[in-house]
Amino acid sequence: MTPVLIGNVIGFIAATIMVYTGYIKQKDKILIAQTVETFLLIISNAVVGGITGAIINVINSIRNILCYKEKLTPIAILIIIILSVGLSVYFNTLGIIGLLPVVASVAYVLLMNMKDIIRFKCLIIFTMVLWLIYDISVKLYTTAAFDLLTIIANVVSIIQISKRPKTELRDLYDINSNKTDKTYHKGDIIPEGYYPMVVMVVIKNSKNEFLMQKRVESKGGDWGVTGGHPKSGESPIEGIITEVKEELGLDFSKEEFTLYDEGCDGKDCFKMYFVNKDIDINDIKIQEDELTEVRWFSMDELNHMVETKELNPDQISCFKKVCEYLDGLSKFENKLIRLKTNNNEIFEGICSHSSQEFNECEFGIDEQTIDIENFKIRKSEIEEIECIDDFTGKYSDLERLTVKEGILFIEDVLESEEKVHKTRLLDYLYNETEEIDCKEEIKKILNKLINSSDKDIKEKSERLLKKWS
């Protein structure tokens, strides 16, 4: 048996393993198959006198191992290039032909992380052409045949991709969830440093049930929340409105959505919305090519679905976050709070949010300067929030206090430094307490307040004294 024949037989076995590798799904088995394939290629090249080919295959084997172990650092790449060039030049006995493997190897290691699929396939074609010329020159015809098939397969793939109708165009975002000027089509490889935007909505009714939808079998057949990707030009809130309309046939306004969670996890940017609304299942018109059914579920039912593996644990986290968010804000309801916004503005007032608008607290520092009904601050605008006390509860029950308790409370408030306490209590006394028994004691305090440098406090005190005189 001649060296050429032996080399081709071994090369054929190696090429067969290379084809088989494409059908393996487990990462560790792929690595084993590629290691065996590379080992056989090293032998086949050495047998026919292709020393540089054998060297490059050894180095490529090391590169593959580092890549799979995610240790292919810039320093490792530099070392691989230096070894590839240095050893190939030193041991090369085939002139320019002997340098083709090192050119292919260096080009691949430098450009292997490119995200554009067509350019990546062009890189594969370029490197395989060089290997084809080399394998023919060293008479490794079986390996050359597989090189040629690989080239043809990638050319056909590029043609198919080029002719494929463009899918939905979407915007890309940076790590801070800011929209960039970059876009991508569904199915494209995302450039490094850019992220798709995912929007989802948790819909809850007055029975504390959550609306879930089930995907068609061809798309996994899983239960989940309504969501998707905004189209290019849509904002995230516009995107989720579109998804609800397309998948459920429901028309929601922007005002019905509350943003309760957002961020970027390194794979996607995401915005999680909440809607509190009673919806009749019969009013829902599902997108039949996407969904098979929709149902309301209690939290207990959802937890049971996780236990029976009908629901992914990641899905139920959406509902738990909503519940935590609601619980977190409920502690401020009907309480006097102080908050600082992202713009370093300080506000104080009574938080009077409802379950329908749980993320929007209404504050009234002074009814004459701020419209309580229209003044709202969203959670996303709040940097710090604290409960000062339950002042509202105290003065709303003022008539239930004893005379002594009432006097002490009113004195504490009117002599405090908190303007919001004073103005609200003065308004309350003016409007609600005609029969209060401690007017004379209060008048003594009011006579002090009419000398206040604060115009509002002074005017409200004078107004109350005039009413009681």
Q: Which two tokens stand for residue 175?
A: 């790590």
Tell me what pLDDT residue 99 has.
92
Which DSSP string do the residues of 250-319 spell out, in sequence order? Answer: ----GGG-EEEEEEE-SS-EEEEEEEE----GGG----TTTEEEEEEE-HHHHHHHHHTTSS-HHHHHHH
> What per-residue confidence (pLDDT) applies to 463?
85
Backbone angles phi, psi at 227, to 5 degrees: 180, 180
Q: For the chain, give me the number of helices (H) and strands (E)?
A: 15, 14
Give the CATH H-level superfamily of domain 173-327.
Nucleoside Triphosphate Pyrophosphohydrolase (3.90.79.10)
Half-sphere exposure of 286 (CA within 13 A, CB side): 18
Residue pair 21/34 in contact by the 8 Å Cβ criterion: yes
Question: Long-range contacts: 424-427, Cβ < 8 Å, 24+?
Answer: 424/350, 424/364, 424/391, 424/395, 425/395, 426/457, 426/460, 426/461, 426/463, 426/464, 427/367, 427/460
What angle is formed at CA 210 by the lines to CA 207 and CA 213, rounded to 5 degrees?
A: 140
Q: What is the pLDDT of residue 149?
A: 85
Residues of the chain with CATH 3.90.79.10: 173-327
pLDDT (tens, 9 = 90+) of the chain, 469 residues, equals 688 888 888 888 887 877 666 555 555 666 677 778 778 888 888 888 888 888 888 888 788 777 767 777 888 889 988 988 998 888 888 899 999 999 998 998 888 777 667 788 888 899 989 989 998 998 888 888 888 888 888 888 888 777 766 678 899 999 888 999 888 887 777 888 899 999 999 998 888 899 999 988 888 888 889 999 999 999 999 999 999 999 999 999 888 888 878 888 888 999 989 888 899 999 999 998 889 999 999 888 888 888 888 887 777 777 777 776 666 555 555 555 566 667 777 666 655 543 333 333 443 332 222 222 334 555 556 566 565 554 444 444 444 444 455 556 666 666 666 665 667 677 767 765 555 666 777 777 788 888 877 787 888 888 888 887 7
Residues constituting the chain:
469
For residue 243 the two structure tokens come to 């998804």
Q: Are 338 and 386 in contact (CB under 8 A)?
A: yes
> 4: how many CB neighbours lie within 10 A of its CB?
15
pLDDT of residue 72: 77
Domain 331-389 has CATH 1.10.730: no
Q: Which two structure tokens, joined as six digits, stand for 37?
A: 């394939």
Tokens (6 digits) for 223: 């239960």
Indicate where the chain has its CATH 2.30.30 domain(s): 331-389
Q: What is the pLDDT of residue 180?
A: 92
* Alpha-carbon gap, residue 380 to 71, rounded angstroms: 39
To the nearest 10 degrees (0 to 180), the angle between helices 117-137 and 141-163 is 160
